[in-house]
Amino acid sequence: MNHTTTPPRHRLLRFAVVGALVLAAPLALTACSGSSGSPVEESSASGGLGTKWGSCMRDAGFDVEDPTDETVSTGAVITPPGVDQVRFAQAAQTCGRQIGVGGASSAEKDKWKRQYAAVDSCIRETYPDAPAQEPGSLDYGDLSQDPAFQQAWDDCMAKHAPDTQSVQQ
């Protein structure tokens, strides 16, 4: 395996955090779920959600760039590499609450969980001994360093979770 290639692991960590946020957002953001506007409407009306969220995360000790307003309003934030995922997810939820973001709808969260399960099933067709996955997250650890795995990952993501491709940078 090539342990010098980091982009695949970086992508997996992004999806793991998105998955964690998807699962935890209903509990953390229940008080903010009263908004009936679409994410695009909310982001246009509030102007600067990404800037506010980025500033809050930097105040919490994370070196992040400001995401787009849509990324923040849907709860699809991206974790930087090498950070404590749990601490980052907690800070992201807190910052979301502070700026009044309700996160993704339950239908979106359910769809993402189904997509991630399909991606995992697809990965297991080629890598049956891949690490077990938690519902709603994808993190294959060191396996992600294998270029052949990366190709399988890209193929499975494109086939089973094409809308999450926009989460990657």
Amino acid present at 163: D
Model pLDDT, residue 30: 32
- The residue with greater pLDDT, 22 or 27, is 22
Q: Residue 10 pLDDT > 60, yes or no?
A: no
Q: Give the pLDDT mean for 151-169.
A: 74
Rounded CA separation 41/73 (Å): 10
pTM of the predicted structure, to 2 decimals: 0.49
The mean pLDDT value of the chain amounts to: 73
Rounded CA separation 99/53 (Å): 7
Token pair of 12, please?
């997996």
Is-contact 32 96, C-beta < 8 A?
yes
Token pair of 43, please?
């982001």
Secondary structure (H, E, C), the chain: CCCCCCHHHHHHHHHHHHHHHHHHHHHHCHHHCCCCCCHHHHHHHHCCHHHHHHHHHHHCCCCCCCCCHHHHHHCCCCCCCCCCHHHHHHHHHHHHHHCCCCCCCHHHHHHHHHHHHHHHHHHHHHCCCCCCCCCCCCCCHHHHHCHHHHHHHHHHHHHHCHHHHHHCC
Q: Where are the domains of the chain?
A: 7-104, 107-167
Model pLDDT, residue 151: 92
> What is the per-residue pLDDT across 91-113, written as a single tens digit (0 to 9) for each?
988 998 899 886 667 888 788 88
Question: Nearest 5°: phi and psi at 149?
Answer: -65, -40
> What is the per-residue pLDDT across 141-154, written as a single tens digit (0 to 9) for each?
888 888 999 899 99
Model pLDDT, residue 78: 67
Q: Give the pLDDT mean for 65-70.
A: 88
In degrees, rounded to 5, the angle at the alpha carbon of residue 38 between the alpha carbons of residues 53 and 41 is 70
Residue 58: CB partners within 8 Å, gap ≥ 6?
64
